Structure 1
Amino acid sequence: MARQRSYGGLLREARERRGFDLTTVSHRLRVRPDILRAIEEADFAYLPPRGYTRNMISAYARLVGLNPTEVTSLYLDEVHAYESGYARVDARRAEGQGRRPRGEGGARSSARSVGSGRPARGGRAAPGRAD
């Protein structure tokens, strides 16, 4: 089974392709070089709290020309696996698990839209009622 690419490896490779060293990236992002090294090596024990690290990774990805959302998502997957011992399940990636398509009992009804005598949202009368 092929191992998924690490967010730190992606950042390091993109930085090297751009010809930046850690000092240059450190000055541009205003982040200490030791923190950047910990980001690249996925050293979760050394990294600051998750919110700060996530913002640093997003800025780092933007600087080196990567999609910040994708790299940040990889970071969150890895940090979750590190903290909990198992992989994070992202609802967008789960292929419809636990979700029903619309029209097959998945829609909710409310008293306002069904039989309340009031018009449903948008000013239309509820289905089956002629007001």
Structure 2
Amino acid sequence: MTEEQVQNTETSETEQQDAVQADKQGFGAVLRQAREACGYTIGDMVGRVRISVKQLRAIESEEVDLLPEPVYVRGFIRAYAKSLGIDSTALVEDYNTRFAPVDTKVAHAISDIGYTNEQVFSERRPSSWWRIIPLVLLVAAVAAGAWAVLNQKMLEEKQEAAAKPTVETTQAASQPVAAEPAKVAPKRPEIPGVKLSPDDASAVSVAEPGEVRLRFQTKNSAWVRVSRIGDDRTVFEQEMPAGSVRVVHAAKPVRVILGSTDGVKVEVNGVDCNYSEFVSSADKTARFRLH
């Protein structure tokens, strides 16, 4: 047996094991156990697969009512499994079988009547298009008469308007019109020794040595995560209850992720941080860097 055949055999056995495991436990339990075996938290997976905390928890607990359409859920499961290094085929099949079965109903469109060589002839009826000619002529005559009456009325109104004295409007025209103020994009807060930038691949992570003091205050419950840029090591991660305050000290550069921006106030080194430009319009989460 060649080395390639051995590898194919091992891959087939791995897929069969994943299929058996998915049948016994369900796709959510398999993904959760794989994540825990890798030592990842839910917050770690948010940064790896770009799926919100709420959706990740719904996948692991198989609460499909909290998830979008099945086509998106299948993509979530594949991305989740790929990030953990496991095969997603059995997991997607388990989801399809229990929550999104494919409709197998087939419409029987074939007639039961057998094929025949008999030719069928039908009588050719004479065309009756000439019967509508009088109706077309009548409609055209009515339309022409209506247009003549309307045209005469419009001409009389123009003549009456021309006979009226004009009103002097030069004074009103000379008055300047106030221009609408231009919309100004939200200005990033100026924090001594700290710069804000979006959390994407193009952002520069080089930062001067130093520490930042982050203060989070929640009006409603919100998930908050602070991690180091580079090794993605978690500095702080918590589901903060409503009305709570947390203070975090971290060395720059750091990444801040807010699972919900509804009523979350952020201070950096004692200065209010306006992070509105980093809020996602899709799920109202915020991701930005401090360096």
TM-score, reference length from structure 1: 0.57
Matched AA of 1:27: G
Matched AA of 2:38: R
- How far off is 1:78 after superposition? 2.0
- How far off is 1:47 after superposition? 0.7
The alignment partner of 1:45 has SS state of: helix
2:79 matched residue in structure 1: 59
- How far off is 1:9 after superposition? 0.1
- How far off is 1:80 after superposition? 3.4
Correspondence 1:1-131 to 2 at 5 A: 4-80=24-100
8 Å contact kept, 2:31–2:81: yes
Measure the CA separation in 2 of the matches of 1:80 and 1:4: 18
Q: How many residues were matched structurally? A: 82
Higher helix share: 1
Q: Which is further off, 58-67 or 12-21?
A: 58-67
Measure the CA separation in 1 of the matches of 2:79 and 2:90: 12
Residue ranges of structure 1 left out of the alignment (5+ in a row): 82-87, 91-131
The alignment partner of 2:62 has SS state of: coil
Matched AA of 2:60: E
Q: Which is further off, 70-79 or 54-63?
A: 70-79
The alignment partner of 2:99 has SS state of: helix
8 Å contact kept, 2:58–2:67: yes
- How far off is 1:4 after superposition? 2.6
Measure the CA separation in 1 of the matches of 2:66 and 2:95: 14
The alignment partner of 2:65 has SS state of: coil
- How far off is 1:18 after superposition? 0.3
Measure the CA separation in 1 of the matches of 2:44 and 2:64: 23
Measure the CA separation in 2 of the matches of 1:79 and 1:18: 27
The alignment partner of 2:40 has SS state of: coil
Residue ranges of structure 2 left out of the alignment (5+ in a row): 1-22, 105-291
- How far off is 1:32 after superposition? 0.1
Q: Deviations over 1:74-105 (max 9, x none)?
A: 11112137xxxxxx8x9xxxxxxxxxxxxxxx
Matched AA of 2:29: G
TM-score, reference length from structure 2: 0.27
8 Å contact kept, 2:70–2:100: no
Measure the CA separation in 2 of the matches of 1:31 and 1:80: 20
1:103 matched residue in structure 2: none
Higher strand share: 2
Measure the CA separation in 1 of the matches of 2:56 and 2:98: 16
Identity score, percent: 31
Measure the CA separation in 1 of the matches of 2:45 and 2:57: 11
8 Å contact kept, 2:27–2:60: yes
Measure the CA separation in 2 of the matches of 1:37 and 1:71: 16
Larger Rg: 2
- How far off is 1:66 after superposition? 1.4
Matched AA of 2:88: P
Measure the CA separation in 2 of the matches of 1:29 and 1:72: 17
Measure the CA separation in 2 of the matches of 1:27 and 1:71: 22
Moved over 3 A (4+): none
CA RMSD of aligned residues (A): 2.1
